[in-house]
Amino acid sequence: MSNPSKAPRPEGAAPHLEVIPLGGMGEIGKNITAYRYEDEIMVVDAGLAFPESHQMGIDLIIPRIDYLQQNAGLIKGWILTHGHEDHIGGLPYILPRLPRVPVYGAGLTLGLVREKLSEFGIKDGEVDLREVDLSDKVKIGTHFQVEFFRMTHSIPDNAGYLLTTPAGVVMHTGDFKLDEEPSDGKTSDLARIEQAGKDGVTLLLSDSTNAERQGRTVSEAEVARNLETLIAGLKGRVFLTTFASNVHRVQNVINIAHRQRRRVVMEGRSMIKYAQVAQTLGYMELPEPFLASDEVGGLQDQQVLYVCTGSQGQPMSVLSRLAFGNHAKIALRRGDSVILSSNPIPGNEEAVNLVINRLYEIGVDVYYPPNYRVHASGHGSQEELATILNLARPKYFLPWHGEPRHQINHARLAQTLPRPPKRTLIARNGDVVRVSQDDFKVTGTVPAGAVYVDGLGVGDIGDDVLLDRVNMSQEGILIMTAVLHPTPHVEIVSRGFVRANRELDAQIRKVALDAIEQGLREKKRLEDVRDDMYGAVRRFVRKVTGRNPVLIPLIVD
Q: How far apart are CA 92 and CA 288, in angstroms?
A: 34
Mean pLDDT in residue range 181-206: 97
Mean pLDDT in residue range 407-421: 98
Q: How far apart are CA 49 and CA 450, in angstroms?
A: 9
DSSP string for 2-28:
-----SPPPTTSPP-EEEEEEESBSBS
The identity of residue 463, as a single letter, is: D
pLDDT tens by residue, 289-302: 999 999 998 899 99
pLDDT tens by residue, 347-356: 788 889 999 9
Asked whether residue 239 carries a pLDDT value surpassing 90, the answer given is yes
No. of H helices and E strands in the chain?
Answer: 15, 26
Q: What is the pLDDT of residue 487?
A: 80
Q: Give the highest mean pLDDT range of 3-12, 202-211, 349-358, 499-508.
A: 202-211
Q: What is the pLDDT of residue 30?
A: 95
Alpha-carbon 439 to chain mean position: 32
Nearest to 178 by CA among 161, 193, 198, 165: 193
Q: How far apart are CA 311 and CA 323, in angstroms?
A: 12
Q: Which residues of 536-553 are buried (b: 16+ CB within 10 A; e: fewer)?
A: bbbebbeeeeeeebbbeb
pLDDT tens by residue, 165-182: 999 999 999 999 999 999
Q: What is the pLDDT of residue 5?
A: 46
379 is catalytic: yes
Name the CA dihedral angle for 506, 509, 510, 514, rounded to a multiple of 10 degrees. Answer: 180
| Structure-model confidence comparison of residues 135 and 489, the more confident one | 135
Q: What is the pLDDT of residue 280?
A: 95
Strands 168-172 and 159-165, sheet pairing? antiparallel
Q: What is the pLDDT of residue 459?
A: 56
Looking at residue 292, the DSSP 8-state letter turns out to be: P
Residues 473/460, Cβ–Cβ less than 8 Å = no
Residue 212's alpha-carbon distances to 58, 228, 405, 425, in angstroms, are 30, 29, 8, 18
Q: What is the pLDDT of residue 472?
A: 60
Longest dimension (CA), the chain: 88
SS (H, E, C) 353-383: HHHHHHHHHHCCEEECCCCCCCCCCCCCCHH
Mean pLDDT in residue range 21-29: 95
Nearest to 140 by CA among 113, 168, 175, 164: 164
Asked whether residue 283 carries a pLDDT value surpassing 50, the answer given is yes
Catalytic residue among 153, 375, 379, 401: 379
pLDDT tens by residue, 33-73: 999 999 999 999 999 987 765 665 567 888 999 999 999 99
Catalytic residue among 45, 179, 207, 532: 207
Task: Kindly indicate the confidence band of residue 378, based on its pLDDT and cuts at 50, 70 and 90.
Answer: very high
In a 3-state reduction of DSSP, which class is residue 164?
Answer: strand
Q: What is the pLDDT of residue 462?
A: 61
Nearest to 223 by CA among 154, 284, 174, 289: 154
Q: What is the pLDDT of residue 469?
A: 57
Mean pLDDT in residue range 192-215: 98
Q: Taking all residues of the chain, what is their mean pLDDT, rounded to a whole number? A: 91
pLDDT tens by residue, 490-531: 888 777 777 777 788 888 888 888 888 888 888 888 888 888
45 is catalytic: no
Q: What is the pLDDT of residue 330?
A: 95
Asked whether residue 108 carries a pLDDT value surpassing 90, the answer given is yes
